């Protein structure tokens, strides 16, 4: 037991696994961690009272790691590997996953291909076995390549009809130094030039067990998971990836014409990275700006002026760089005013923050950390991401304490040392704006 408000961290080493028990404020949280002899990291967080389990494999080879000319290849791979693996053809594999009731999720990040699932916990072992087949023994047949590639082409082309999503994809592409912000859907010409042999070669090159992370949350037997993963993932064959070289950022302003009903405005400005000491000050600043309906952007843009329905800013971080990304959608005749008001709010932030705003920002952040911790899928993603970004998993209590440690002075100090100078702006719609 620890005293109320106290803090402890204990490590129990058992058969090669480490159980890290965090306890503070009367809440105990356990993180299981095991580095298999082949280097694969397995992380787990047991959640008492749930019958489900969620898991996520973080595989090296995200959008930023694709070689030049291979934009969209990671997405094609994530589609292609499910089209037959191990002893299963495409149909049998789909049927087997459905038979286990797996809620599938695949996505492509800057650094990783994420393959995940959520299901009732008693089916975890057979589900992991199917995912191991997908990762280690995909058939990658010529016959299945074309529909896999074509589906990603279709997905990319559909973005032209979704300006709200398109503006943020184009924004991220220009904000981060190339290749960090590359779109997971790639570029049409590059997608069209991909061939089965070229992409097959990539799959081999990026299959690096040592850089693979498996994160699990919910109801599971950690020893059994580690044994199973070790038996199927086998010995390590290093496939060292060369470091990515960072290129230039995109232009400060880009307008993409679209004869739609609104101008969709995206803007992004640099801030502290996830791994930096100043991270919590950056998060709190974003919360003051856009943490809730009483926050500044919603109040000034929507409540007082009625300029927008959708308006908000979010913190976004990669390991290498981070930014505050803001979106607003508004009618063409209000687009300039909307942009001007948003920009003024960014600049006004460093001028002062009231004690009440600070309290609301902190409570909002702490509350969302706890509310998200009830979902097994959120926790699996969070522990995998923490490990990749920081090399360790943060306890919920640590996050709470660090949010509480921020103050008006610390946030203003951070903002004054790091003023918002540089904005990347993209608009999609019938009218340009002046930036």
Partner 1 sequence: MEFKHKTLANGLVLIGEVNPPAKSAAVGYFVRTGARDETLDVNGVSHFLEHMLFKGTDRLQASQVNEAFDSRGAQFNAFTSEEQTVYYASVLPEYLQDITALWGELMRPALREDDFTVEKNVIKEEIAMYQDTPTFDVIDRCRSLHFGTHPCGHSVLGTVESIDGLTAAQMRAYFARRYAPNNLVVACAGSFDWDRFCGVVEAAAGAWPRQEVGRSLSDFQGTMQKARADKANLKREHICLMHTGVSAQDPRRYAAALLGMIVGDDYGSRFYWDLVDKALAEEASMHFGPMDGTGLFYCYLRCATRNAPRVLSIVDGILRDLVRAGIAEDELVKAKNKVLSALVLKNELPMGRLGDLGSNWMYLGEYRSIEQEVDAVKAVTTDEVNRLIHEIHLDRYTQYTLGPAVSA
Among residue numbers 78 through 107, which ones bind partner 1 (CB under 8 A)?
Answer: 83, 90-91, 94-95, 97-104
* Residue 217: both structure tokens together: 């949350």
* Number of CB atoms found within 10 A of residue 432's CB: 16
Which residue number, 244 or 408, has a Cβ lying nearer to partner 1? 408
At closest approach, how far in Å is the CB of 35 from partner 1?
29
d(Cα 428, Cα 424) in Å, to the nearest integer? 14
The helix/strand/coil state of 419 is coil
Please identify which residue in the block is written with the tokens 């970004």.
Answer: 389
d(Cα 44, Cα 384) in Å, to the nearest integer? 9
Please identify which residue in the block is written with the tokens 């002075």.
Answer: 409
In the window 117-156, what residues touch partner 1 (CB under 8 A)?
118-120, 146-148, 150-151, 153-155
At closest approach, how far in Å is the CB of 262 from partner 1?
5
At closest approach, how far in Å is the CB of 88 from partner 1?
13
In the window 23-62, what residues touch partner 1 (CB under 8 A)?
48-52
d(Cα 250, Cα 252) in Å, to the nearest integer? 7
Which residue number, 14 or 51, has a Cβ lying nearer to partner 1? 51
At closest approach, how far in Å is the CB of 191 from partner 1?
12
At closest approach, how far in Å is the CB of 158 from partner 1?
6
Q: Residues 6 or more apart from 397 whose CB is under 8 A from it?
A: 7, 22, 23, 24, 25, 27, 29
Binding partner 1 (rule: CB under 8 A), the pick from 66, 185, 308, 380 is: 308
At closest approach, how far in Å is the CB of 427 from partner 1?
13
Closest-CA residue to 348 (of 279, 403, 306, 301): 301
In the window 335-394, what residues touch partner 1 (CB under 8 A)?
356, 359-360, 363-364, 366-368, 370-371, 373-377
Q: Is 247 left (phi over 0), alpha (psi -120 to 50) or beta?
A: beta
The answer to whether 157 contacts partner 1 (rule: CB under 8 A) is yes
* Residue 283: both structure tokens together: 């998060």
Spell out, one character per residue from 178 to 217, where the chain touches partner 1: x when CB under 8 A holds, - when not: ----------------------------------------
d(Cα 131, Cα 125) in Å, to the nearest integer? 10
Which residue number, 115 or 180, has a Cβ lying nearer to partner 1? 115
Which residue number, 295 or 415, has a Cβ lying nearer to partner 1? 295
């Amino acid at each position: 037991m620890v005293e109320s408000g106290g803090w402890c961290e204990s490590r129990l080493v058992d058969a090669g696994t480490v159980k890290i028990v965090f306890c503070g404020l009367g809440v105990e949280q356990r993180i299981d961690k095991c580095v298999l002899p082949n280097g694969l990291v397995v992380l787990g967080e047991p959640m008492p009272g749930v019958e489900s389990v969620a898991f996520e494999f973080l595989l090296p080879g995200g959008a930023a790691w694709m070689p030049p000319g291979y934009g969209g290849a990671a997405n094609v791979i994530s589609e292609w590997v499910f089209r037959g693996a191990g002893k299963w053809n495409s149909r049998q594999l789909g049927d087997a996953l459905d038979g286990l009731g797996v809620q599938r999720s695949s996505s492509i990040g800057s650094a990783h291909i994420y393959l995940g699932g959520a299901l009732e916990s008693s089916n975890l072992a057979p589900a992991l076995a199917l995912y191991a087949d997908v990762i280690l023994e995909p058939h990658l047949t010529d016959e299945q390549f074309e529909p896999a590639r074509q589906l990603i082409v279709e997905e990319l082309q559909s973005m032209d009809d979704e300006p709200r999503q398109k503006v943020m994809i184009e924004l991220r592409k220009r904000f981060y130094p190339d290749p960090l912000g590359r779109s997971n859907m790639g570029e049409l010409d590059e997608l069209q030039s991909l061939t089965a042999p070229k992409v097959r070669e990539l799959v081999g090159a990026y299959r690096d067990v040592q850089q693979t992370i498996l994160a699990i949350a919910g109801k599971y037997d950690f020893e059994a998971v580690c044994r199973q993963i070790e038996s199927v993932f086998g010995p390590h064959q290093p496939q060292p990836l060369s470091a990515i070289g960072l290129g230039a950022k995109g232009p400060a302003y880009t307008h993409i014409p679209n004869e739609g009903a609104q101008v969709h405005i995206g803007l992004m400005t640099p801030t502290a990275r996830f791994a930096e000491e100043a991270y919590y000050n950056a998060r709190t600043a974003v919360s003051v700006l856009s943490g809730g309906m009483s926050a500044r952007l919603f109040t000034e843009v929507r409540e007082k002026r009625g300029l927008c329905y959708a308006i908000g800013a979010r913190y976004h971080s990669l390991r290498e760089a981070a930014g505050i990304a803001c979106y607003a959608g508004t009618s063409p005749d209000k687009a300039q005013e909307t942009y001007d008001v948003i920009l003024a709010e960014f600049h006004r932030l460093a001028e002062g923050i009231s004690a009440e705003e600070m309290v609301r920002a902190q409570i909002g952040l702490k509350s969302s950390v706890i509310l998200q911790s009830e979902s097994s899928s959120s926790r699996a993603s969070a522990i995998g991401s923490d490990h990749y970004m920081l090399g360790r998993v943060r306890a919920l209590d640590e996050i709470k304490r660090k949010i509480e440690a921020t103050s008006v002075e610390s946030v203003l100090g951070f903002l004054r040392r790091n003023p918002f100078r540089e904005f990347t702006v993209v608009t999609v719609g019938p009218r340009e704006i002046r930036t």
